[in-house]
A and B are shown apart, each in its own frame.
Chain A
Amino acid sequence: MTERLDVAVVGAGIIGSATAYYLAARGLSVAVFDREYVTAGATGRCPGGIRQQWSTEDNVRLMMKSVEIYEGLSEELGAEIDFHQGGYLIVAKTEEERRRFEDQMRMQRSLGLPVRWLEPGEIKEMVPQLDVEGIGAIGAAWNPTDGYANPFKVTYAFASAARRLGAEFHLFTPVRRVVVEGGSVSGVETDKGFFGAEFVVNSAGAWSREIAETAGVSLPNRPYRHEILATEPVRRFLEPMVISFHDNVYFRQSHAGAILGGWGDPNEPPGYNLSSSPKFLGRFSRLLISYVPGLRSVRVVRQWAGLYDVTPDAKQIVGEVPEVAGFIQANGFSGHGFMAGPITAKLVAQLISGEPLDLPIEGFSIERFRRGETGREASVVG
C-alpha cells in the first residue's frame, strides 16, 4: 500500500462501516480497519432499537434524521435490513415520570414527532399480553414511528455497499497508533504496516479512548458492560419496543420471534468485562416475567454482553478535535449509536468532504466538556 488514503477509519461497527459508505459514495479513498470483524463490537451485540423520543433537542433532531435515512435504506443499499416501525412504548410508573414525559413530548411534538400519551387501557389494547396493572404502569409515552432494524443486516449492507464503491476493509488488523506529525494526522500504524491518510476517523466504539490516546488526545469516555439475552422464538405478539427508565429495562420481539432485552445494573463499574452474569439472568428474567407473565415458560436460549461507550453527559462526540487536525471523533454513543449511526456517518462524510452539514454538530463537539457545559441526555436505558 503506497498511495495515501483520503480517510482511514478505525473500527468496523455501524459507525465505521456507514462512514466508509458515505465517504466512498463521495469518491474518496477509504480503508476501514478492525482488529476483529464487521459487527464484532457493540453493534453485533445490540438489539437494534431505533428511538426518537429523547430528552435533548439535538438528539431528537438527529434521530429523526436518522429514521428518515433508515426508511429508505433498504432500497438505497440494495439489501434487506428488517427495518420495522412498530413504535416505542415508554412506560411511566410514577407521577414524576408522567410530568417529565409530558414536558419532553411537548418539545418532541414541536419538532414534528407524532408522539402521544397512552392511558393504561390503551396500552392494554396495544399489547394485551402486557400486565399493565401488575407492573404499576400509569401510562406511557408512545411514538409510532420508532422501531428497530437488524444490526447485522444494516452493518453488512453498509459494508458491502462501501466495498462496491471501492472502500477497503482490513479485518483482523488492529490499529496500533494514530500517527500525528506537526499537529496533523499522517495515518495509522497497523499490524499490516503503516497506512498514510489525510483524515483518521475514530469509530472504535468503547475502545475509542485508547485509540485517541495514541494520538495524544484524551477522551472522557468510559466503557460499561451491558448485558442482554434472547429467548426461544414465540409467535409475534409484540409490535413495539417496550422500555422503562424506572426499571432500567427494555425488550422487543425479533422478526423470527425471539424476545431480546436487557436490564442495566446501576452498580456496574466501568471496565472491559464482557462476561455474562447469573445476576443479570435472574434480575432480567424476573422483570420480563413481571411485564409479560406468559413468558414464564419460555426458555432463554442465549445471553451475552456488550459495552456502552459512555461520556459524562451521555451524548456522543462527533467532529474534529482542535489539537490534531484531521482527527475526527465519532464515538461516545452511550448506548444509542446504532440508531444514530446512519446520520452520524453521513455528517462525518459531509464534514470531511467539506459539504454543508444536514444538521449542526457543535453540540456534539468534544469542547463542550472542556467548557464545562451541561445538557445531559436523560433518556438512556439499559
Chain B
Amino acid sequence: MARRIWDHPILDFERGEPLKLIFEGREITAYPGESVAAALVAEGVDILGWSKLRGRPRGFFCGIGKCSSCLMVVDGIPNTRTCVTPVSPGMRVSRQRGPPPIPDVVPEFDLEREEVDLAILGGGPAGLSAAIAAADLGASVLLVDENFRPGGQLIKQTHKFFGSRENYAGVRGIEIARRLLSEVGGLGARWVLRSSAVADYPTGSGHRIVVRRPGGATLVDARAVIVGTGASENMLAFPNNDLPGVYGAGGLQTLMNVFGVLPGERALVIGAGNVGLIVAYQLLQAGARVEAVVEIMPRIGGYFVHAAKIRRMGVPILLRHTISRVLGRERVEGAEVVAVDDSWRAVEGSERTFDVDMVVLAVGLTPSVRIPAQAGADMIYVPQLGGHVPVHTPRLLTTLDGMYVAGDSSGIEEATTAMLEGRIAGAAAASDLGYAPDRAERVISEAQRQLESFRSGPFSSRVLEGKEMVWEKAREVIG
C-alpha cells in the first residue's frame, strides 16, 4: 500500500534508512523519526486495536497522545500511546483486545530528582516562548514535552501565518517552531522530550511535578510552573464515529505534514472554520480528493482567503449540512451527509452518500487542563474559550501560587496569541521569582500591547469576551 508521500509541492520528507518493526509476527517497514502509529498506518494497518468493552475497531485519531485510540503493546508494555512513541529497529508491536494482561517483562524503573526555578509543561508555541522569555531574564528553565518531536501543533502547520510581522506573519508554522527551538537552546534552557507531566503537587513554596519518561520518572521541584499543554480535538456524535478512517483534523495533519503519510484517497471534511479549510487545502496538496467540506452553520467560519483557495480547486462547501453517519464495518467506506433546518434538525429526504475513505473532523478543540485541575487551581467553564480553563489574570497567573497558564490550555485561540501569552507568562514567572523585574515588566507590557492589538480584530471578539469573564473571576478570587 503506497501511502507514504514522496512528492509534495512544499514539503521534503527526508527519510533515512528504512528499518523493521515486528508487528504481530510480521515485519513492517518504518523510517527513523516516524511514530509507531504513523508507520503502521503508512503500511496499511488501519486497525490499531479494539475497544475494551465492545471490541470495536480503533484507529489513528488525534496523533498527539490525547485520545487513547492508539494504545498498543510495545515491547511487552501494554497501553502504550503509539502515536507519540518513535519507532526503533526490531520493536515488537501488537494490538490489544480487551484490557491487556499485566506484562511479564519487568522493565527498569529509575526515579530521578531535579530542582529548577521554572518548569514548563508543553513545548508548543506557548511553552517555547515562555522558556525563551524566562531564560532570557535569567531563570533556570526545564521544559518537558510528551511528544518525541518538539514544537506542538506548529510542526504540522505548513501554511504561512497571518498576523503581524513581529510575530512571524508570512512564515510557515514548521519554520516558526524551528526558530523558537533554536532560540530556546541558545539561551541554555533545557528541554526533554517523551516526558509527560502527570501530576503537580503544590508544596507551599513551589511545585513538585511528577514527570513520566522512558525508563522511569523524574520528580521536578520547581519554584514556579507554566502550563502550556495545548488542547485536544473535539469529537462529534454520529453512528460509527469511532471507525478507523475518522481522523481529527490535527491528527490527519500530523500524518500528512509531519510524517508524509496519506491514509486514503478521498476525504470529507467536517467543519468550515480555519482548521477545516486549511486541512482541506493540505489534503489537496498531498494528492487526495476532497469531496466536500461540510458546515452546519449558515456561513463559513474561517478566513475568506482559505475558503476561496479550496473553492477554486473545485471543493464544494456545503453550508447548513452535517454528517449523519459513517458507513463501513472495519474502517470508513463512505459517509452520509444531511441538510439541517433552522433548528438544527435533519431535513428528511436530504441524505446524500459520499464515497470517501477519510472523514476529517475539524469541529474545535478543548483546552487540556488536567494538570491545573488536579493541582487544585480554580477552574471556570467558558464556552468562548472551548471549555473549562484555569481562572487566570492578564499576567496568566492562576489561583495557585507560582502556577501560570498559556496558549490553548488557557483558552483555545491561535499560535500567535499562544506565543504572546507564553512570553507574558514566562516573563511574569521570572519577575515574580525576582529575576530582572524591571526588564520583565517591560517585556510583559509590550507583549500585552501586541496581544491587545491582535485581539482587536472581529475574529477575536468571542475570545475576548471569554477572556473578560476569566479576568473578572480572577479579580474576584485573586484580587
Contact = CB atoms under 8 A, between A and B. Distances in A.
B457 interface: no
Contacts of A299: 79, 212
Interface in B100-155: 100-107, 109
Given A232-B79, A277-B201, A237 B102 contact: yes
B208 A278 contact: yes
Nearest to B200: A278
Contacts of B105: 297
A281 B199 contact: yes
Chain A CB within 10 A, most for which of B102, B104, B198, B201: B102
Given A296-B106, A296-B109, A297-B105, A235 B100 contact: yes
A234 B102 contact: yes
B251 to A, nearest CB: 22
Contact of B99 (A257, A292, A295): A257
A213 to B, nearest CB: 28
B103 A281 contact: no
B98 interface: yes
B210 interface: yes
Interface in B215-274: 219
Given A275-B376, A278-B208, A278-B210, A303 B102 contact: no
B100 A294 contact: no
B77 interface: yes
Interface in B68-82: 76-79
B52 interface: yes
A234 B106 contact: no
Contacts of A56: none
Identify whether the interface residues of A are mostly helix, strand, loop, or mixed.
Answer: loop
B199 to A, nearest CB: 7
A129 B102 contact: yes
A161 B291 CA distance: 53
A294 B201 contact: no
A297 B49 CA distance: 19
Contact of A237 (B76, B101, B199, B219): B101
A294 B107 contact: no
A234 B99 contact: yes
A235 B101 contact: yes
Contacts of A257: 52, 99
Interface string B56-90: 00000000000000000000111100000000000
A293 B104 CA distance: 9
Contacts of B106: 293-294, 296-297
Given A278-B219, A281-B199, A295 B102 contact: yes
Interface in A233-277: 233-237, 256-257, 275-277
B199 A298 contact: no
A297 B103 contact: yes
A234 B78 CA distance: 9
A31 to B, nearest CB: 31
A235 B102 contact: yes
A289 to B, nearest CB: 8
Contacts of A298: 78-79, 102-103
Given A278-B201, A281-B210, A233 B52 contact: yes
A237 B103 CA distance: 12
Contacts of B376: 275
Contacts of A281: 199, 210
A292 B79 contact: no
A162 B107 CA distance: 50
A234 B100 CA distance: 5
B201 A297 contact: no
Interface string A326-368: 0000000000000000000000000000000000000000000
B42 to A, nearest CB: 27
A294 B101 CA distance: 9
A166 B417 CA distance: 55
B79 A235 contact: no
A256 B208 CA distance: 31
A281 to B, nearest CB: 7
A256 B99 contact: yes
Nearest to B79: A232
Nearest to A298: B102
A54 B78 CA distance: 38
B101 A296 contact: no
Contacts of B103: 294, 297-298
B99 A233 contact: yes
Nearest to B209: A278
Contacts of A303: 199
A235 B98 contact: yes
Nearest to A274: B376
A237 B76 CA distance: 17
A296 B58 CA distance: 26
A296 B79 contact: no
B308 to A, nearest CB: 46
B223 to A, nearest CB: 16
Interface string A216-237: 0000000000000000111111
A336 B300 CA distance: 59
Nearest to B71: A232
Contacts of B219: 278
A252 to B, nearest CB: 15
A281 B199 CA distance: 10
Contacts of A234: 78, 99-102
Nearest to B107: A297
A292 to B, nearest CB: 7
B52 A296 contact: no
B99 A294 contact: no
A295 B79 CA distance: 12
B352 to A, nearest CB: 40
Interface string A283-294: 000000000111
A235 B103 CA distance: 10
Given A234-B99, A278-B199, A281-B199, A294 B77 contact: no
A272 to B, nearest CB: 14
B436 to A, nearest CB: 31
Interface in A185-238: 232-237
Contacts of A292: 102
Contacts of B78: 234, 297-298
B104 A294 contact: yes
A294 to B, nearest CB: 4
B421 to A, nearest CB: 28
Interface in B427-479: none
A295 B100 CA distance: 12
A297 B100 CA distance: 12
Interface in B182-206: 198-199, 201
A252 B131 CA distance: 43
Contacts of B102: 129, 234-235, 237, 292, 294-295, 298
A212 B100 CA distance: 49
B210 A235 contact: no
B287 to A, nearest CB: 38
A127 to B, nearest CB: 12
Contacts of B107: 296-297
12 contacts: A234-B102, A256-B99, A257-B52, A277-B201, A278-B210, A281-B199, A292-B102, A294-B106, A297-B106, A297-B109, A298-B103, A300-B198
Given A278-B201, A292-B102, A300-B198, 12 more contacts: A232-B79, A233-B52, A233-B99, A234-B100, A257-B99, A293-B106, A294-B102, A294-B103, A295-B102, A298-B103, A299-B79, A299-B212
Q: Which 4 A-B pairs have the closest CB atoms?
A: A294-B102, A257-B99, A233-B99, A235-B101
